[in-house]
């Protein structure tokens, strides 16, 4: 049991976004706007990842909507198993990505990719779902101020 009066140490990681795989990004945008009055970015095509995305902004969190561009996209594979869509992964941000990557490799954590530059210019990598209770986790650098 956690007592609110006790100050807890915290990790150097913070939640950056939650990724929601969807079969139709335009429908998803409409639903997030209608249900929550959310602000949503323009749709971006990310050919390197074979997806199109849009970011839904809330006061304390971003949701990354992802639709596959083709049947070869990893998101298409996810949608074959979850045709209505669903939570695909969550992203944790850290100040020193290379340090985090090195620490996790040293601990023999099953990392799916070496750090690479994402569409937004920040470096990132993915941790295999077997490492943390079945969740696919993206780790990326904090946004540059």
Q: Is residue 39 a part of any domain in this protein?
A: yes
Q: Is residue 83 a part of any domain in this protein?
A: yes
Q: Is residue 32 a part of any domain in this protein?
A: yes
CB 51 within 8 A of CB 79: no
For 9, the 3-state DSSP assignment is coil
Q: How many domains does the chain have?
A: 1
Q: Is residue 67 a part of any domain in this protein?
A: yes
CATH of the domain at 91: 3.10.180.10
CB 24 within 8 A of CB 65: no
Q: What's the whole-model pTM score?
A: 0.86
Q: Would you write out the chain's pLDDT as a tens digit for each of its 145 residues? A: 445 555 556 678 999 999 999 999 999 999 999 999 999 999 999 998 899 999 999 999 999 999 999 999 999 999 999 999 999 999 999 999 999 999 999 999 999 999 999 888 899 999 999 999 999 999 999 877 6
For 68, the 3-state DSSP assignment is strand
Q: What is the DSSP letter of 8?
A: P
Which structural domain range is residue 19 located in?
A: 14-107+127-141
Q: Is residue 42 a part of any domain in this protein?
A: yes
For 133, the 3-state DSSP assignment is coil
CB 83 within 8 A of CB 23: yes
């Amino acid at each position: 049991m956690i007592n609110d009066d006790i100050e807890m140490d915290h990790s150097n990681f913070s939640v950056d976004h939650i990724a929601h795989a969807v079969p139709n990004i335009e429908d998803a945008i409409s639903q997030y706007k209608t249900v929550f009055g959310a602000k949503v970015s323009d749709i971006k095509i990310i050919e390197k990842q074979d997806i199109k995305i849009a970011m839904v902004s809330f006061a304390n969190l971003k949701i990354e909507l992802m639709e596959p561009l083709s049947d070869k996209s990893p998101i298409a594979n996810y949608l074959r198993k979850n045709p209505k869509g669903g939570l695909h992964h969550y992203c944790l941000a850290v100040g020193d990505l290379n340090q985090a990557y090195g620490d996790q490799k040293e601990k023999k954590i099953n990392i799916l990719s070496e750090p690479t530059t994402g569409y937004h210019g920040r470096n990132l990598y993915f941790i295999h779902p077997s490492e943390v209770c079945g969740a696919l986790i993206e780790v990326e650098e904090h946004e540059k101020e």
